Copies of this chain bind each other. A is one copy, B any other.
Amino acid sequence: MELGEKTVRKNYVFRGKIINVRRDDAMLPNGNACTREVVEHPGGACVLAVTEESVILVKQFRYAYGEELWEIPAGKLNAGEDPMRAALRELEEETGYCADSLELIFTIYPTPGYSDEKIYIYEAKEVAKGSAHPDEDEFLDVVRVPLEEAYAMVQDGRIKDGKTIIALQYRQLRG
């Protein structure tokens, strides 16, 4: 079956700092007209960084949920930025840890229903301690959590962030 939908006209309804929003006129595979709401996002990069059998997590208030969430270090891409460079930058800025190199382990699509965001998940090699220098106006706690404890936090729901669950389950599966 041909499943594709065609864009008839892109209509921007909001242009923000983080996201743009469109309500497009589109055409279904059967030729029927429809509208499609789309959030444009530049994409994000994050890092699974393990040192001495502990994973580096950040605890951060997330305004949209009104909650503090546990996440692996992450940030959005600047325009045109290489995701690996962004991942290295966020790891160092947010946590003060640095890595010799990163390996891309996943490119995930977190919200296929309405957003074009892609999240690049890297695994850090040779993690070492430096010094954190978060953005002014960035507030977070950095914690080293033993892997077994982190796996338990995924299972009991204390870790809720999708990219963090994927990275930790990946690590657990590899053993």
Q: Measuring CB to CB, which residues of chain A are less than 8 angstroms from any residue of chain B? A: 1, 3-5, 13-14, 16-19, 21, 23-24, 26, 28-30, 32, 34-39, 41, 44, 59-65, 68-69, 71, 76, 106-117, 119, 137, 139-141, 157, 160-163, 165-166, 169-170, 172-173
Contact = CB atoms under 8 A, between A and B. Distances in A.
Given A3-B61, A18-B37, A113-B44, A169 B173 contact: yes
Given A37-B17, A64-B36, A115-B64, A3 B109 contact: no
Number of copies: 2
Contacts of A141: 1, 3
B16 A37 contact: yes
Contacts of A157: 106-107
Given A19-B37, A37-B19, A137-B30, A161 B112 contact: yes
Nearest to A157: B107
A154 B165 CA distance: 14
A166 B162 CA distance: 8
A61 B14 contact: no
- Please provide the 8 A-B residue pairs with the shortest distance between their CB atoms, ordered closest to farther: A169-B169, A3-B61, A110-B110, A62-B112, A110-B162, A36-B63, A64-B116, A16-B37
